[in-house]
Amino acid sequence: MARHDYAFPFRIAPGTSRGAETPYPDHVDQLLRQLLLTSPGERTCLPEFGCGLRRLVFAPQSEALVATVKIQVRQAIERWLADQVQLTDVQVTSGATDPTSGLDLGEILVSVSYVLVDQQAPRRLELTVR
């Protein structure tokens, strides 16, 4: 039987009075997006949760920023989702450091490659932060 979890953002499924569900791999993608886009201190009951990528968009675009984003993403995933995700690679592209990327100045593309621990299935998440 395939595993399903609640969808994010939480919503009621059409035609039912139950919470909408999503397949497990999609649920993990949603968890990763929540983690990467939440700033530490944003959740009152869990103030250390998050990665804070949105605040880095305003930092000077450089190779140092790319390295900082890689470190923060890797640390956040290993801390909060290590029981669900085995991280294999983190790639970061900045609009200012790679003009051929198609990103605008100030945009950051984060690509996370990982393996779902439960299913041993490789996955990739790409997230553009503006």
**Res 90 pLDDT > 90:** yes
How many domains are contained in the chain?
A: 1
Structure confidence at residue 114 (pLDDT): 96
Structure confidence at residue 13 (pLDDT): 84
CATH code: domain of residue 65: 3.10.450.40
**Res 108 pLDDT > 90:** no
Provide the pLDDT confidence category of residue 24 given band limits of 50, 70 and 90. confident
CA distances from 88 to 11, 16, 30, 114, 115 (A): 32, 39, 18, 5, 7
Provide the pLDDT confidence category of residue 87 given band limits of 50, 70 and 90. very high
Structure confidence at residue 98 (pLDDT): 64
**Res 102 pLDDT > 80:** no
DSSP 12: B
Q: What is the pTM of this model?
A: 0.83
Structural domain boundaries enclosing 99: 4-129
Q: What percent of the chain has pLDDT over 90?
A: 42
**Res 66 pLDDT > 60:** yes
What is the SS3 assignment for 23-87?
Answer: EHHHHHHHHHHHHHHCCCCCCCCCCCCCCCHHHHCCCCCCHHHHHHHHHHHHHHHHHHCCCCEEE
